[in-house]
């Protein structure tokens, strides 16, 4: 029987520095994961980390990673990356006529994947993307913004501007007011806990339906397949019920945003 924990190895074809602490790696292989799902990436002798797919299904497999520790600091220097997955739930965009993706910080990769999936299905007119970072130099995928704005309403904000920045300044939730799609749109939210809470509150205030709001949960993981119990939030294992989950299923969970 195949060992579910054993990673296979993929060749890395490209590495791009996005910001001082974020980089993108591209594999010489196709993505079999849906937008919102994640893979476990590993560095031999060091460990594994769950990382979301950043590309659309069937395109080259891409990950965008913030260097925060032992695994994420080393992945970019590898020629071959250990990988298993895809795991977890994806964004349920096919169930909705309109979708607004809202990303804060390093939450943007799964929204990039969503954008590519919807574009590949010819549904880019049904998507809007709101994205915020701390400063202009923390924005990831800057080189893609020009192309994206040709297809979708892309709104970007930074918490703190610099001299060159002439775009929106302020927190991401406020960007929801710039959405053109209807209040029946599904709202997909991913980012730091406070950003997600405030975005959900804003969405509800503006009249978006709670049962159409989805968030992405984050917890430390080990097995990634619902066996070890490391990633629970209340009754949910993030690796199985999530990371993408309907907000109404977790809204009363006090652990959720800790």
Ligand X SMILES: Cc1cc2nc3c(=O)[nH]c(=O)nc-3n(C[C@H](O)[C@H](O)[C@H](O)COP(=O)(O)OP(=O)(O)OC[C@H]3O[C@@H](n4cnc5c(N)ncnc54)[C@H](O)[C@@H]3O)c2cc1C
Closest CA to 77 of 65, 87, 85: 65
Q: Are 186 and 93 in contact (CB under 8 A)?
A: yes
C-alpha 121/C-alpha 97 separation (Å) is 13
Residue 127 main-chain phi, psi, to 5 deg: -125, 140
Q: Closest distance between ligand X and the C-beta of residue 148, in Å?
A: 18
Question: What residue 169 binds from ligand X, ligand FES, none (CB within 5 to 8 A, per partner kind)?
Answer: none
Q: Which stretch binds ligand FES (CB under 6 A): 118-126, 158-166, 168-176, 219-227?
A: 219-227
Residue closest to ligand X, measured at CB: 69
Question: What residue 224 binds from ligand X, ligand FES, none (CB within 5 to 8 A, per partner kind)?
Answer: ligand FES
The nearer residue to ligand X, 49 or 154, going by C-beta atoms, is 49
C-alpha 106/C-alpha 137 separation (Å) is 13
Please select the residue that binds ligand FES; options are 228, 246, 249, 253, rule is CB under 6 A: 228
Q: Which residues 237-256 are close enough to bind ligand FES by CB under 6 A?
A: 237, 239
Residue found by looking up tokens 């965008």 in the block: 64
How many residues contact ligand FES, by CB under 6 A?
A: 12
* DSSP 8-state symbol, 34: P
Question: What residue 109 binds from ligand X, ligand FES, none (CB within 5 to 8 A, per partner kind)?
Answer: ligand X
What's the helix, strand, coil split of the chain in %, to 5? Answer: 25, 35, 40
Q: Closest distance between ligand FES and the C-beta of residue 258, in Å?
A: 17
The nearer residue to ligand FES, 27 or 221, going by C-beta atoms, is 221
Q: Residue 28 corresponds to which tokens in the numbers above?
A: 């010489």
The nearer residue to ligand X, 164 or 235, going by C-beta atoms, is 235
C-alpha 56/C-alpha 53 separation (Å) is 8
Binding residues (CB under 6 A) for ligand FES: these are: 221-224, 226-231, 237, 239
């Amino acid at each position: 029987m195949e060992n579910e924990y054993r990673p296979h190895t993929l060749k890395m074809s490209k590495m791009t520095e996005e910001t001082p602490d974020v980089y993108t790696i591209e594999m010489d292989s196709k993505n079999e994961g849906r937008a919102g799902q994640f893979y476990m990436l590993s560095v031999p002798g060091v460990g594994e980390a769950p990382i979301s797919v950043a590309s659309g299904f069937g395109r080259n497999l891409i990950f965008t990673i913030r260097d925060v520790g032992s695994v994420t600091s080393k992945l970019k220097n590898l020629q071959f990356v250990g990988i298993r997955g895809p795991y977890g739930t994806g964004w349920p965009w096919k169930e909705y006529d309109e979708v607004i993706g809202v990303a804060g910080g390093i939450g943007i990769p799964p929204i990039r994947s969503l954008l590519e999936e919807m574009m590949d299905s010819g549904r880019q007119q049904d998507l809007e993307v709101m994205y915020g970072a701390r400063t202009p130099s923390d924005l990831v995928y800057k080189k893609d913004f020009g192309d994206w704005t040709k297809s979708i309403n892309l709104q970007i904000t930074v918490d703190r501007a610099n001299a060159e920045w002439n775009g929106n300044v302020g927190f991401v939730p406020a960007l929801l007011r710039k959405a053109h799609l209807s209040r029946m749109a599904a709202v997909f939210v991913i980012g730091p806990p406070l950003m997600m809470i405030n975005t959900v509150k804003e969405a509800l205030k503006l009249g978006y339906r709670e049962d159409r709001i989805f968030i992405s949960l984050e917890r430390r993981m080990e097995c990634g397949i619902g066996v070890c119990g490391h990633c629970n939030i209340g009754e949910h294992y993030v690796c199985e019920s999530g990371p993408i989950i309907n907000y109404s299923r977790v809204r009363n969970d006090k652990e959720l945003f800790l």
